[in-house]
Amino acid sequence: MSDAGLATHADAAEPRPSASEGDAPKGTAGAPVAVPPCAGPKPSPVCTHIGVFTLWRVLWRSFFFQAAANYERMQNVGFAYAMAPVLARLYTGEARIAALKRHLGFFNSHPYLSTAIIGASIRIEMRVAAGQTNPMMVEAVKRMAMGPLAAIGDSFFWSSLRPFACVWAAAGLLMGVPWAPLAALALYNFFHLSVRLYGLVVGYRAGESVLRSLTTTFQLNRYGELAHWGSGLVLGVVGAALTRRAALGHLALGNGVEPVLFAAFVAIFFLCIRRKIPTIGLLYGGALVLLCYVVGLDWFFPLVDVRDR
Amino acid sequence: MNAAWLDGVLALGGFALAGGLLGLDRRAAFQAMLSQPIISVTLLGYLCEQPGLGVALAVRLQLLWMASMLFGASTPPNENVASVVSAGAAFLGTAWLQYDGAAAQPALVVALAILLGAPFAQLGRQLDMRLDRSHLQLARRADLAAAQGDLHGLSMVPLRGMVRVFAANAALVALGVVICAPLVRLLSIAITGAPAVALSAFSIYAVPALGVAVSFALVKRRRALLLGTCTFALCVLVLPADVFYP
């Protein structure tokens, strides 16, 4: 299959770049980022348009973004791996080597939202291959976008959505709903896969303006707020469910003491956590304190063996 | 080698495989939340035909390790290794007890599994740090492939990374289960009287409370904490018990 044939087929499917994509990339404050004029060897374009199949390959490869994460350049290998099908279409020879080296530079961002930066990089590389812009534009956009998108992704996915989904699954299981974990998994991955796919599309269309396009398109902050409130609400249900199970188990204390005891434990542990005491320390410390207390109590008031109850 | 030993070896292999695959999902591939204890331990419980024990363990482990998040370049305790080791210790230990004709006390088994499995979270963290250092070699390999324009060579680098992550996680989980499962069995028989009551109470009251406290600490809105407290009070005071214990 000839490259010209591929280019013709892809050309019919691709939207034309808008006039605004010729502008310099804008930072989060809206000020243009300075990029020097073109320098170095001109690329010899194999093909200046990317087909949908190639974009699907890029999306698939984005799932292995952190497979070779390292301390030096973080997710650089994953980024280059995801870009490789595009670079194979756009460049040959020295231009391809230069492009690969470009994408093996330092990169660190949220794995789900990195597809937006990949999409933007693809759009810019297409223009680089056509000789319309400087290759340094790619690095400039990556550096500009990786930090803000990392903050958005960490805040929404790791701090808000995942805790909410997990607590929701726990509440469902405690209330006897066996498919609750599957529902939580579906909810989480709905957002996960939507952000990956849509991020790639938005980045590909917006190019240098990826950050501005994303912040107006994704309203993740709003969903994050809802997830925090949802987590608070469902944690109360989880606590009640665990207390009820304790009250109906073989170590029930009776007279409605269990909820009070549970709430007291939660309050003490919460205060300790706020004072930065590690969870593992609280785990073993709690076990030790409880052992000493019950064994000491048994010394004065012999308890019945739990297996005899 | 009799059938019971063979079953044990196969089960150990199964837990190692689960640990390796879930270790991939945790960071190296997909990151689809399958490695979270509420999903993985519940599923392992159903596969080991101990769903009740699986649910009890999964809820506690999830709440306990809720704060273990992969922010940026940070390397938190590896909750996946700790959870799978705890699950393996609990399920294999219980099966072993039943095979011996001894009665397994679920609360005691859960407490022992969690206490014995928790240190493996720190071991897993050390493992992750070593893997990140070893991936520098892979980054050099990628640089070399790029300098030669070798796209196939570059594409093999993430695969090598995944193989390393899988093998390391599987090996650590296997080691953990081999150590902890016999300990759960031995200690379940040896611990009686007041210490057994204490550990059971620890599993029923203290561990869930610690988990809820850890999860509350993640909620950044004070009014959401107040909402949670009110919901707790409402559920305990108003709703009937069978809503929460079907």
A295 in contact with chain B, both atoms CB, cutoff 8 A: yes
Quote the distance between the C-alpha of residue A209 and its chain's center: 21
Question: Which residue from A263, A280, A150 is spatially nearest to B216, judged by alpha carbons?
Answer: A263
Chain B residue closest in CA terms to A261: B205
Rounded to two decimals, the pTM is 0.87
Show the 3-state SS of chain B.
Answer: CCHHHHHHHHHHHHHHHHHHHHHHHHHHCCCCCCCCHHHHHHHHHHHCCCHHHHHHHHHHHHHHCCCCCCCCCCCCCCHHHHHHHHHHHHHHHHHHHHHHCCCCCHHHHHHHHHHHHCHHHHHHHHHHHHHHHHHHHHHHHHHHHHHCCCHHHHHHHHHHHHHHHHHHHHHHHHHHHHHHHHHHHHHHHHCCHHHHHHHHHHHHHHHHHHHHHHHHHHCCCHHHHHHHHHHHHHHHHCCCHHHCCC
CA angle A65, A106, B143 (to 5 degrees): 80
Bridge partners, residue A74, by sequence: A70, A107
User: Which of B132, B215, B233 minimises the CB distance to A69?
Assistant: B132
d(CA B49, CA A51): 48
- Exposed/middle/buried for residue A27 (C-beta within 10 Å: 0-12, 13-18, 19+): middle
**pLDDT for residue A11:** 36
**B-chain residues near A228 (CB < 8 A):** 219-221, 224
Query: Cα distance from B242 to chain A (closest Cα, Å)?
Result: 9
Q: ipTM value of the model?
A: 0.91
Residues in chain B: 246
| Run means of pLDDT, 10 residues per run, chain A, 309 residues | 33 38 44 48 56 94 94 93 94 92 94 95 92 91 93 91 94 92 96 95 90 77 86 92 83 77 92 93 94 84 52
Mean pLDDT of B221-225: 83
Q: Is the Cβ pair A167, B215 closer than 8 Å?
A: yes
pLDDT in tens, B125-154: 999 999 999 999 999 999 999 999 999 999
Phi, psi of A213 (to 5 degrees): -65, -40
Strand ranges (E), chain A: none
Interface of A with B in 246-265 (CB under 8 A): 246-251, 258-259, 261-263, 265
